[in-house]
């Protein structure tokens, strides 16, 4: 029997949304789903080596940033990169950096991004993956 497939388009590079994506990934891994993650614009900024561990950008309820980050710490929530890494160890997860998004942030080769990234591709690969996916999410 073929695994179900999740396609996840990550637009946001904020820690709140990347943490949420990590939670979704954990659920997909627990269900042994195949997952294609497409890292778009602001998310490509977060996936750059020099930015990935910067944990201070939030997209939602910005006036509660400090409270949100303190709650993550108090709960022992792993950094989003660790949640992604764990999911990759559990199931078939591929992380694709959008070539255009990479160029926006001066990331033109795979080595410019953290080791979670598997390749750099064009947007047509996202479109094809989304078309065949059982679930397609945009964060």
User: What's 38's domain CATH number?
Assistant: 3.40.1260.10
What value does the mean pLDDT take over residues 16-39?
A: 96
Among 14-28, 48-62, 75-89, 97-111, which is the least confidently predicted range?
A: 48-62
Number of domains comprising the chain: 1
Structure confidence at residue 57 (pLDDT): 85
Structure confidence at residue 1 (pLDDT): 65
Cα–Cα distance between 60 and 65 in angstroms, integer? 8
What value does the mean pLDDT take over residues 12-24?
A: 96
Structure confidence at residue 27 (pLDDT): 96
> Which range marks the domain in which residue 75 is found?
5-138
Structure confidence at residue 47 (pLDDT): 97
SS3 116: coil
pLDDT of 2 higher than 90: no
Q: What is the pLDDT of residues 72-121, one digit of tens each?
A: 999 999 999 999 999 999 999 999 999 999 999 999 999 999 999 999 99
Structure confidence at residue 69 (pLDDT): 92
What value does the mean pLDDT take over residues 2-22?
A: 95
- Edge-first strand order for the sheet with 135-138 is 119-121, 93-98, 34-39, 5-10, 135-138
Structure confidence at residue 107 (pLDDT): 94
Structure confidence at residue 39 (pLDDT): 98
pLDDT of 54 higher than 90: no
């Amino acid at each position: 029997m073929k695994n179900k497939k999740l396609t996840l388009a990550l637009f946001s590079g904020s820690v709140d949304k990347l943490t949420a994506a990590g939670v979704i990934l954990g659920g997909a891994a627990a269900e042994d789903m195949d997952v294609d993650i497409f890292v778009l614009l602001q998310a490509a900024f977060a996936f750059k080596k020099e930015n990935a561990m910067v944990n201070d950008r939030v997209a939602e309820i910005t006036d509660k940033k400090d409270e949100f980050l303190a709650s993550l710490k108090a709960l022992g929530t792993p950094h989003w990169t660790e949640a992604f890494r764990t999911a990759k160890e559990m199931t078939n997860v591929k992380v694709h950096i959008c070539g255009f998004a990479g160029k926006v942030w001066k990331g033109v080769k795979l080595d410019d991004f953290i080791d979670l990234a598997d390749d750099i591709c064009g947007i047509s690969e996202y479109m094809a993956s989304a078309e065949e996916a059982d679930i397609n999410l945009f964060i």
